[in-house]
Amino acid sequence: MKKLINAPEDVVAESMAGFAAAHADLVRVVPEPLYVVRRDAPVAGKVGLVSGGGSGHEPLHAGYVGFGMLDAAVPGAVFTSPTPDRILAATQAVDGGAGVLHIVKNYTGDVLNFETAADLAAANGIEVRSVVTDDDVAVKDSLYTAGRRGTGGTVLVERIAGAAAERGDDLAQVAAIAEGVNADARSMGVALTPCIVPHSGEPSFTLAEDEMEFGIGIHGEPGRETLPLEPADRVVDRLLDAILPDLPYERGDRVLLMANGMGGTPLSELYIVYRRAAERLAEEGIEVARSLVGDQITALEMQGCALTLLRLDDERIELWDAPVQTASLRWGR
């Protein structure tokens, strides 16, 4: 295991300490119980957005805390859900009197712990709504989840719902926008290499030098099948063959196309992937109206990529384009 870390048990706390030091203009990091909160939280009268989950997917979620996106992120241990007390503390910290939306990726531990935290928050007089993201078309039920997994679509939910909260939408409206984005987003990924959880020190799975894992999960959990490694264009076509018919996306649709890196893949390769995806969508008569290329939701140092499509309408485009000021997404302000 080759990593730039100290003791494996200190990885999350030290990484968050560095994050706090680097982005003191945007966030505060509360060390105990650990969560990251927007610097000016709570914002009076604004719906608060809280997400979280196991660490190892950076920049998700801490990198998306700030103006126009999340109010707080709760990082668990690597690939391990945060406990309800921490989610509750973050929920209380961002409650500006307009209620709080929990954005939860569909993994069993996250769903349970966020539910418990929501119940505790309600008992403390905070109105909480939850949206569970499940955009990954690869598998239904898996090692970590019942139903589909939440992956790249989560980033888009956080951004678009975050913009809606920022413009003053109420909790029901923000929740409806989040649900809508999740319903119209689909993702699928592929891995060329496994990742190594610091505590275990062992690769999450094995792949031969000429193999890829198609439909990979963000914890290195199995995908649909192990296939021979192919040229990038063929890999992209396989991903879109799975994604496009699932909603389905249709001729005339406008979409946001996200080419996401899994953590260990160079940006130059993501643009090669993006190129073919955009070309294929043009062939299908689907218009790429917005795009995002880079590492957004990762699996430690895994090499690989995932594509996410989100169907857009005028309102979603307006919300996407609205100012955002976080460590990992920022524009227009």
Q: Which of 80, 83, 298, 308 binds a copy of itself (CB under 8 A)?
A: 298
Pick the catalytic residue: 23, 61, 102, 219?
219
Q: Which H or E element spans position 13?
A: helix 11-22
Q: Contact 107/53 with Cβ under 8 angstroms? A: yes
Asked about 219 being catalytic, the answer comes back as yes
DSSP state of 8: G
CB of 29 to a copy of itself, least distance (A): 11
**Residue 293 binding a copy of itself, by CB under 8 A:** yes
Residue 74 burial (10 A CB sphere; 0-12, 13-18, 19+): buried
Residue 137 or 327 having the CB closest to a copy of itself: 327
Residue 8 or 147 having the CB closest to a copy of itself: 8
CB of 33 to a copy of itself, least distance (A): 19
**Residue 3 binding a copy of itself, by CB under 8 A:** yes
Q: Which of 9, 14, 119, 241 binds a copy of itself (CB under 8 A)?
A: 14
What DSSP string describes 45-111? TSPEEEEEEEESSTTTTGGGBSBTSBSEEEEEEETSPPPHHHHHHHHHHH--SS-EEEEEES-HHHH
Q: Which of 4, 32, 251, 314 binds a copy of itself (CB under 8 A)?
A: 4
Asked about 199 being catalytic, the answer comes back as no
Q: Which of 176, 183, 247, 272 binds a copy of itself (CB under 8 A)?
A: 272
**Residue 263 binding a copy of itself, by CB under 8 A:** yes
Q: Contact 152/297 with Cβ under 8 angstroms? A: yes
Q: Which of 104, 244, 304, 320 binds a copy of itself (CB under 8 A)?
A: 304
Q: CA of 46: how far to CAs of 164, 171, 242, 273, 309, in Å? A: 10, 9, 38, 38, 29
Say how far apart CA 282 and CA 89 lie, in whole Å.
46
Residues 180-239 contacting a copy of itself, CB under 8 A: 192-193, 209, 212, 229, 231-233, 235
Say how far apart CA 299 and CA 122 lie, in whole Å.
33
Say how far apart CA 133 and CA 72 lie, in whole Å.
17
For the chain, the 3-state helix, strand and coil shares in percent, each to the nearest 5, are: 35, 25, 40
For residues 71 to 110, the per-residue mask of contacts with a copy of itself, x marking binding by CB under 8 A and - elsewhere, is ----------------------------------------
Interacting residue ranges for a copy of itself, rule: CB under 8 A: 2-7, 11-12, 14-19, 21-22, 55-56, 58-59, 63, 192-193, 209, 212, 229, 231-233, 235, 259, 263-276, 278, 288, 291, 293, 295, 298, 300-301, 303-305, 325, 330-333
Which residues are tagged catalytic?
Answer: 57, 219
